[in-house]
């Protein structure tokens, strides 16, 4: 399972480890700024928390889930307004 952003170029926002998945690297812009529910497989809560959002984080984010041979995707749009 992964969260990505592709407004300008493909960026890896957050990766939830999966034994069958190759290691993917989180983009430096998001290192230390993302968090997911630790028990997401049991709860089904796949939401992503982005710490310290700024206007540059505004845009589309995509959650991709790899389950067996199926690929499930959901896109959300984040709008960050200046103070």
Average pLDDT, the chain: 87
pLDDT tens, position by position, 24-54: 788 999 999 999 988 887 888 889 999 999 9
String of b and e for 5-34 (b: at least 16 CB within 10 Å)? beeeeebebbbbeeeeeeeeebeeebeebe
Does residue 16 carry a pLDDT above 60? Answer: yes
The residue range of the domain holding 28 is 2-78
Q: What is the CATH number of the domain that holds 54?
A: 2.60.40.10
Chain centroid to CA 3: how far? 2
Predicted confidence band of residue 21 (pLDDT cuts 50, 70, 90):
low
Please report whether residue 45 resides in a domain: yes
């Amino acid at each position: 399972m992964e969260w990505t952003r592709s407004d300008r170029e493909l960026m890896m926002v957050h990766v939830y480890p999966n034994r069958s998945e190759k290691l993917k690297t989180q983009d430096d812009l998001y290192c230390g700024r993302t968090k997911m529910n630790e028990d997401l497989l049991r709860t089904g809560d796949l939401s992503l928390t982005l710490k310290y959002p700024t206007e540059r984080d505004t845009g589309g984010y995509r959650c991709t889930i790899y389950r067996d041979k199926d690929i499930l995707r959901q896109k959300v749009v984040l709008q960050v307004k200046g103070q």
